[in-house]
Chain A
Amino acid sequence: MSDREANRAATRRRMRRVLVDRGIDVVLMVFSLLMLLPLVFLVSNGFKTPQEMLAWPPTIIPANPTTDNFAAVLQDTPLLRWIFNSVVFAVLSTLAILATSSIAGYILAKFRYRSLNVIFALVLATAIVPFEVYMIPLYFQAQSLGILNSIWGLLLGYLVMSFGIFLIRQNVIHSIPDELLEAARIDGAGELWIFFRIVLPLLRGALGALGVLAFFQAWTAFAWPMIVATNREAYTIEVGLALFQTGFTVDLGRLSAASAIVLIPSITLFVILRRNFVQGVASTGLKE
């Protein structure tokens, strides 16, 4: 009798738990879909005819999909050129940031001299200052080098990343024991050999995270490319689209198509590199 009652109570508790779980799942699912909805509509609008753009309620899957918008946009704008600029800029920036961060992070983690502490403090101090604060003087530096309107000009603002140095330094401290380096030195290994053959391979995970972070940082850069690239051929995709959309004659279908061309590859890339990315972004919050 009491056994059965206890059983029933347990069942009721389990039922409640399942109900709560399902309820939370519903809330999260609805919220997730709402977050994605603007992007879904953007892509779908790219395939719509002007008549369907006006239809209410808006369709998620276009009734008679057309690629006219894409063709028009590719004809109106050097969109592929802009994408090319963005990709080259982002890749070069990533390589530069990986190179400078890995070597500087390693040195600052494992070589303890007072002069290096001063350097580390300076690097940390510049990290607090937002890019927007000093981009105007930086612009004039690019100008005096004669590299405005070029990939090199874009790159000038994105060669180093304070956070990258910080991230690598933390990783070296936590994952590379001094004994390992000492043992290699006793075996007669040179400092460069140690860096390339021992340190870098051990930092693969951290460098992956930082790389993805750096790539997306350059890929989504806006204010700096906006002032450096004033010539239509030199725009990055962000600048190109932002200026393209200010024209009055441009319709939303074409804008959506252009946006979709940019979004689809970057979303794909993100989904592939999600783990690296999440790790990298999460580590921005781990300040000790």
Chain B
Amino acid sequence: MLRRKRWLFAILAILPTLALFAWLRMFPIYETLRLSLHKWDILSRNKPFIGLANFQELMGDRLFHEALLNTTIIAFGVLLITIPTAMVLAALIHYRTRSRVSGFYETAVFLPHVVSLVPAAMAWKWIFDARLGPLNAVLTFLGFEPQAWLFDPTLSVISVIVLCSWQALGYAVLIYLVGFKSLPASLFEAAKLDGASGPQSFWFLSIPMLKPITLYVSVVTLVSGFNVYAQAFVLASDAQGAPGRQVRVLVLDMLENSFRNYRVGYAASEAVVLLVIVLVLTLIQFSLLRERGRA
């Protein structure tokens, strides 16, 4: 009797949350998968089933290829900048953890991660600005040619990578700091007694031991890199001033197909591609972790 009552309470208590999850998460995810196999132009009532035609079209879509390529470059670019920098920074901050200013270091590195995206991007828009920006002024001062950072096809991608890395760094440093704190201090003392220098124990002890954390942070960074949108939207307007067109990213392309070209099914198939990328990355993470566990 009592057991039954307790079970009833559990079910009743979790029901509202479960209902919200079903309605606001599971159903739309299912809808994305379903729509990707259909053709729908928003206005018409019927959504004919067209099988994999959307995906076939994606294969030959130049804009989609451009978006996929840009997004991939951005995601991996951010990864390459963020992970090594974050590891070294976290090691240094951890080393100075007892100093009075370590809280300041942490806050300073972390702040770009929490401030609103758009205002922060605005600061970088000024920095990269060809006429007014301090970056070109510094380049000129050092005797280099000023560059059209936000309009050159390559440089604008680099600009987006810099902005995204600036924001992603704080999160990575924070997670690494947690990792450094969990490493056994005795091991490092032993290494020191054996005559290992600081950089040596960083390279031969910390890096291998932090591998699970590196894996986790890498996947989080890559996944958020693949979902990049606001940064490109603000930073990379094209010559006509259309936001985000200069560096086309997946989310932008998807939203344009859905709400500008009224091709919801097609946009959904792009979302499915995004989902597959994220799932593959997550699977790689899990399988690498498991491998480590066995070894």
Could you list which residues of chain A lie within 8 angstroms of chain B, going by C-beta atoms?
Answer: 20-21, 24-25, 27-29, 31-33, 35-36, 38-39, 41-42, 45, 53-54, 56-58, 100-101, 103-104, 107-108, 111, 113, 115-116, 119, 122-123, 126, 128-138, 140-141, 156-157, 159-160, 162, 165, 191-192, 195, 216, 219-220, 222-223, 226-227, 237-238, 241-243, 245-248, 252, 255-256, 258-260, 262-263, 266-267, 270-271, 274, 277-278, 281-282, 284-287
Contact = CB atoms under 8 A, between A and B. Distances in A.
Interface in B102-154: 104-112, 114-120, 122-127, 129, 132, 134, 137
A48 to B, nearest CB: 11
Q: What's the dominant secondary structure at chain B's contact region?
A: helix
B288 interface: no
Given A24-B95, A107-B13, A286-B178, A136 B32 contact: yes
B52 interface: no
Given A24-B92, A31-B109, A227-B255, 9 more contacts: A24-B96, A126-B29, A132-B254, A134-B29, A138-B24, A141-B24, A220-B114, A223-B230, A259-B120
Contacts of B251: 132, 223
Contacts of B37: none
B237 interface: yes
Contacts of A58: 134, 137
Contacts of B275: 129-130, 133
A129 B278 contact: yes
A245 B125 contact: yes
B40 to A, nearest CB: 10
Contacts of A238: 116-118, 230
B17 to A, nearest CB: 4
Given A25-B96, A111-B6, A222-B118, A133 B274 contact: yes
Contacts, number: 267
Interface stretch (B54-62, B76-84, B263-271): B263-271
B241 interface: yes
A266 B6 contact: no
Contacts of B264: 136, 140
